[in-house]
Amino acid sequence: MQLANAIVSIAGNINHTVLAIDLTPAEVIVLKAIHGDAAVNEIVMVGKNDVSCAEEKGRLQRKYDKNPNRAYVEKLFPGHSPALAKTFKEAGIQAQVAPKVKQEKGNIVALKEDGTVDKPTEKELRSMREAESAVTAT
């Protein structure tokens, strides 16, 4: 299953947010059921795991269905071993792909699709230096 990080607004309150990490598509569905459709934002895919649907449902039940009166997971995914979405696309959830990065000379830099570093041109460097000088001069 794909994994993502996201910002979750607790009970839909944008002033009370948490960073949720390593969410599966099914967990995003559960969080939206609990906190509201608009409560899960900035979903960025960060990897994947090899968990069966039954294992994922069990994990979600242990985490979210502690109160039997609010059995969100069972209501959303009924049955012993339901087929859970393995990708965010299958679940109908819009998610961004995290940029590939590497550390180069003490800096984190984004990589292009071919794995090379996208270096600024000389003109861009000159413009950045001028902007930096203007900020430090004030």
Domain residue ranges of the chain, discontinuous segments joined by +:
2-97, 101-137
Tell me, what's the pLDDT at 106?
67
The per-residue pLDDT for 113 is: 63
| 73-132: pLDDT as tens digits | 999 999 888 999 999 999 999 998 876 666 666 666 666 666 666 666 778 777 877 887
**Above 70 in pLDDT, residue 31?**
yes
Mean of the per-residue pLDDT values for the chain? 86
Give the residue-averaged pLDDT of 130-136. Answer: 77
**Strands across the sheet with 17-23, in order?**
17-23, 2-9, 40-48, 96-97
Q: Taking Cα atoms as reference points, which of 31, 33, 34 lies closest to residue 7? A: 31
What pLDDT shows up at residue 14?
Answer: 85
Are the C-beta atoms of 41 and 57 separated by less than 8 Å?
no
DSSP line for 66-106: SSGGG-HHHHHS-SSS----SSTTTTT---EEPPPEEEETT
Half-sphere exposure of 93 (CA within 13 A, CB side): 32
Angle, CA of 28, 34 and 35, to the nearest 5°:
85
Q: Is the pLDDT of residue 69 over 90?
A: no
Q: What is the pTM of this model?
A: 0.72
